[in-house]
Amino acid sequence: MTATLAHQSPAAMGASLRERFAEVRDTTMRITASLSPEDQMLQSMSDASPTKWHLAHTTWFFETFILLPHVSAYQAFDPHFQYLFNSYYKQLGSHPNRGSRGLMSRPSLDRVHAYRSHVDTAVLALLDHAGDEVRTLIELGLNHEQQHQELILTDIKHALWSGPLHPEPAPGKMSEVSASASPLTWIEVEGGIHLIGHHGTNFAFDNEGPRHEVLLRAFRLASRPVTNGEYLEFMQDGGYRRPDLWLSDGWDKVCTEGWSAPFYWERKEKEEDHESWWQFTVNGLNRVSPSEPVCHISYYEADAYARWRNARLPTEEEWEVTAARIAARGNFLEDGSVRPRPAGHAPQMFGDVWEWTSSPYVAYPGFKPAAGLIGEYNGKFMVNQLVLRGGSCATPASHIRATYRNFFPPHARWQFSGVRLAK
């Protein structure tokens, strides 16, 4: 993984990075504060992880990549943690199976909190005299933790939904839902050679570069994501019962999993209007709002809906070229609702829901993973996944940009994922 920071004086960079370190680490503790120790041990599926594991793993990252290699006097908090909280770094040796993270009743949550405090103190002390290489690694660690902040919210939402009581999964404030979303219009983009990928000196993950040229035909992109009300029309027209709309793998999922609506939706009445559908949110069960962006749908569902609308999903190149021209406004983690909101103004490309693209997650031309352990961060996952763009209501606003590439397998539904149309 390579990363760069904006050019600043060493003193200014140290001060701003100190403040950012404290803010990011505090945010993680704040979004988990209402969860009990029992909540924080839950692992409802192998794709998700317990909150306690996220708290420890993000701390492990700072200890493993920054403190142990760069502070000669630093002593590991607990030697067992190097094994327990390694996620997938094969060069470090073995690690627990991902699906068994929910079996870690020990260490206790209190000890994990003590681990965080121990590492925080050491990192802040290091910042007093850290060089450029260490500051760059710390910035990488903070962006890594922001990824896990979103995963904490999506994973605990799934875990508590999976239980019999459907409790509220995380602190979230109710937001007023406007009567309607902004009208859907089309953003026209000219064909020709365009540049995509990260450039400049601000932070970016290695998979966002190198910057390169792409040749695009003229296209149109919808000015906002698809709403619940629009998606309900697809459902009412038999969308989940029509194999002609689905990719073969997607239709197999519909049949074997019994899909008939977006994830977390359940119907309370027989009628199929929006009044009969409810969805599980951070505030518990709420009626489906027709004006909110449809959320928690897989790539297969997004693709089937686009076919039904005689449209398609955008490529990631089309999405980025369009988004680079639009202000990064939307509903992010800082808003506090952790729930998609209607697009009150258009065009809107960021926040609320991650948007599936039709692009496979592959390396850009000229991409090379960094040497050593850090090189395992992104490159090894460039297979069998599709790219999503734009961020969601659970993404920190400072963590998103037009070049950011998220990626998940096409069947994934527990993320805050939605759909934008292209033509």
Instruction: Count CB-CB contacts under 10 A for residue 29.
Output: 11
> What's the pLDDT score for residue 370?
82
CATH topology of domain 186-418: paralog of FGE (formylglycine-generating enzyme) (3.90.1580)
DSSP state of 67: I
> What's the pLDDT score for residue 94?
85
> What's the pLDDT score for residue 70?
96
Residue with token string 């909280």 = 85
> What's the pLDDT score for residue 89?
84
**Residues 205 and 400 sit within 8 Å (Cβ to Cβ):** no
Residue with token string 């509903």 = 331
pLDDT tens for each residue of the chain, 423 residues long = 333 333 333 444 455 999 999 999 999 999 999 999 999 999 999 999 999 999 999 999 999 999 999 999 999 999 999 999 999 887 788 899 999 999 999 999 999 999 999 999 999 999 999 999 999 999 999 999 999 999 999 999 999 999 988 777 666 555 555 558 899 999 999 999 999 999 998 999 999 999 999 999 999 999 999 999 999 999 999 999 999 999 999 999 999 999 999 999 999 866 666 578 999 998 888 999 999 999 999 999 999 999 999 999 999 999 999 999 998 889 999 999 999 999 887 799 999 999 999 999 999 999 998 887 777 788 888 999 999 999 999 999 999 999 999 999 999 999 999 999 999
Burial 117-150 (b: 16+ CB within 10 A, else e): ebbbebbeebbeebeeebbbbbbbbbbbbbbbbb
C-alpha of 30 from chain center:
18
What residues contact 389, with CB distance under 8 A and at least 6 apart? 316, 319, 320, 323, 354, 355, 357, 404, 405, 406
What residues contact 239, with CB distance under 8 A and at least 6 apart? 245, 304, 305, 308
Query: Omega of the bond prior to 183 within 30 degrees of 0, cis?
Result: no
Q: Whose CA is closest to 283, among 230, 236, 322, 338? A: 338
Instruction: Count CB-CB contacts under 10 A for residue 272.
Output: 14
> What's the pLDDT score for residue 173?
59
Q: What residue segments make up the domains of the chain, in order of their start?
A: 10-162, 186-418
**Residues 203 and 3 sit within 8 Å (Cβ to Cβ):** yes
> Distance between CA 41 and CA 53 in Å, rounded?
8
